[in-house]
């Protein structure tokens, strides 16, 4: 880890709230809205609406530059709605993961971690075929998304190795 490295959003002058308060509230809203939304169905329309509103609110209050937060709401919500049919759609969890990398201002060198999310989603889609399997498949994919986010952070905090071309004398 690079000495003295701080999250880019920590350096932002916030108009309201504290960094930690907005970070925790945003994270709880994003995850809570996702759980409510994915756990509902067409017979529980109020839960679909609440999950949608809570999830979007989480992205909007998260401490990050404003446009980054706004840009990710639509794709993230579309992904969550597309998860409703079951575990066959888990590969698209890469979209909210990429939204996380964008909002957290991760450098490009951390983006290959998205391949872990895609690979796990494909493996789970080929293993679990029923909506009844969704809780375990979703839990596994969520654990991979969280681990990938931490790996992306670790990659963001490391110094980039400089390659010096050897010039013949």
The reported pLDDT for the residue numbered 157 is 87
Distance, CA of 7 to CA of 62 (rounded, Å):
13
Q: What angle do CA 46, 63, 82 make, to 5 degrees?
A: 35
Question: Would you write out the chain's pLDDT as a tens digit for each of its 169 residues?
Answer: 455 667 777 887 788 888 889 999 999 999 999 889 888 877 888 888 999 999 999 999 988 887 888 889 999 989 888 888 878 888 999 999 999 999 998 999 999 999 999 999 999 989 988 777 788 888 999 999 999 999 999 998 886 544 444 445 4
The reported pLDDT for the residue numbered 133 is 79
Residues 6+ apart with CB under 8 A from 83: 37, 38, 89, 90, 92, 93, 138
The reported pLDDT for the residue numbered 160 is 59
**Burial 1-27, CB ≥16 within 10 A → b, else e:** eeeeeebebeeeeeeeeeeeebbebbe
- Model's pTM, two decimal places? 0.83
Look at the chain and count its residues: 169
């Amino acid at each position: 880890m690079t000495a003295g490295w701080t999250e880019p959003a920590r350096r932002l002058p916030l108009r309201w709230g504290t960094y930690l308060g907005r970070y925790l509230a945003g994270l709880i809203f994003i995850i809570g809205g996702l759980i409510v939304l994915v756990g509902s169905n067409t017979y529980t329309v109020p839960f679909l609406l609440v999950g949608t509103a809570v999830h979007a609110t989480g992205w909007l209050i998260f401490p990050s530059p404003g446009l980054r937060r706004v840009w990710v709401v639509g794709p993230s919500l579309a992904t969550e709605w597309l998860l409703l049919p079951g575990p066959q759609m888990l590969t698209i969890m890469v979209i909210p993961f990429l939204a996380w990398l964008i909002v957290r201002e991760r450098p490009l060198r951390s983006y290959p971690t998205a391949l872990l999310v895609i690979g796990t989603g494909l493996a789970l889609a080929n293993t679990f075929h029923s909506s009844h399997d969704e809780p375990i498949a979703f839990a596994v994919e969520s654990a991979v998304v969280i681990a990938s986010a931490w790996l992306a952070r670790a990659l963001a905090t490391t110094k980039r190795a400089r390659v010096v071309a050897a010039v013949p004398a």
